[in-house]
């Protein structure tokens, strides 16, 4: 990874990152199936979540059409392990940071196709058009869900040399930008 990309990552608050080949991704349908329990309240309400996002097999195939992934992680201090408000706020901030990162990286991507996956449902719109049976109004800016795609985040972080658990009273979020390749500036 070239220095320009590293600078952009750090500028956007991501000092924990790595690059992984898509062929090294570990997929597990258990993560996709967990979405149906609706613990987050987004099942059947969002284009990034099942069933709107597609079947497990369709989502895995969508990920596998890319060659590599830029994996970023943000770590947040929270009051304690019951600080749900702090966890939710940190997740929202993570996605804002990830969207800014994608926007800043866009010129380096040289128009190549990309797919962005993050923790949980896409939150770009106040209310997802899925519940009204309408297409996503901003598919180029929407995020997919790592969980819905069945990505084993713990295995992914290990491949990047990053920790899944970053200590007591912290919460960590992961974003992935799937690319065919990162443009070189050499």
For tokens 């000092």, the residue is: 15
The pLDDT, as a whole number, for residue 98 is 96
pLDDT per residue as tens digits for the range 102-143:
999 988 877 777 899 998 899 899 999 999 999 999 998 899
Task: Report the alpha-carbon distance of residue 65 to residue 105 in Å, rounded.
Answer: 20
Q: Using 50 as the pLDDT threshold, list the residues of the chain that sit under it.
A: 184-186
Please choose, from the candidates 95, 22, 97, the residue with its C-alpha nearest in 3D space to the C-alpha of residue 60: 22
The pLDDT, as a whole number, for residue 185 is 41
**DSSP alpha helix (H) spans, 36-186:** 56-64, 84-105, 153-160
The pLDDT, as a whole number, for residue 182 is 52
The pLDDT, as a whole number, for residue 106 is 85
Calculate the alpha carbon distances from 2 to 5, 6, 9 in Å: 6, 7, 11
The number of residues making up the chain comes to 186
The pLDDT, as a whole number, for residue 63 is 96
To 5 degrees, how large is the angle CA 117–CA 120–CA 123? 85
Q: Is 35 helix (H, G, I), strand (E, B) or coil?
A: helix
Paired sense of beta strands 68-77 and 16-21, if any: antiparallel
pTM of the model as a whole: 0.91
Extract the runs of DSSP E, i.e. beta strands, from the chain: 16-21, 68-77, 114-118, 144-145, 170-179
The pLDDT, as a whole number, for residue 108 is 83
The pLDDT, as a whole number, for residue 9 is 95
Task: Report the alpha-carbon distance of residue 147 to residue 7 in Å, rounded.
Answer: 28
Q: Is 145 helix (H, G, I), strand (E, B) or coil?
A: strand
- The arrangement of strands across the sheet holding 114-118 comes to 16-21, 68-77, 170-179, 114-118, 144-145
């Amino acid at each position: 990874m070239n220095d320009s990309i590293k600078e952009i990552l750090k500028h956007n608050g991501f000092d924990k990152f790595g690059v992984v080949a898509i062929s090294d991704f570990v997929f597990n349908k258990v993560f996709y199936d967990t979405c149906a329990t609706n613990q987050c309240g987004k099942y059947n309400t969002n284009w990034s979540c099942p069933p709107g996002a597609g079947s497990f097999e369709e989502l895995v195939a969508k990920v596998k059409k890319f060659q590599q992934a830029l994996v970023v992680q943000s770590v947040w201090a929270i009051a304690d392990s019951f600080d749900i408000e702090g966890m939710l706020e940190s997740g929202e901030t993570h996605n804002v940071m990830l969207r800014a990162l994608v926007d800043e990286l866009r010129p380096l991507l040289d128009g190549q196709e990309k797919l962005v996956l993050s923790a949980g449902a896409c939150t770009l719109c106040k209310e997802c058009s899925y519940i009204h049976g309408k297409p996503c109004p901003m598919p180029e800016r929407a995020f997919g869900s790592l969980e819905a795609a069945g990505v084993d985040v713990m295995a992914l972080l290990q491949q990047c040399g990053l920790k899944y658990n970053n200590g007591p009273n912290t919460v960590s979020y992961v974003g992935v930008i799937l690319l065919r390749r990162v443009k070189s500036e050499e």
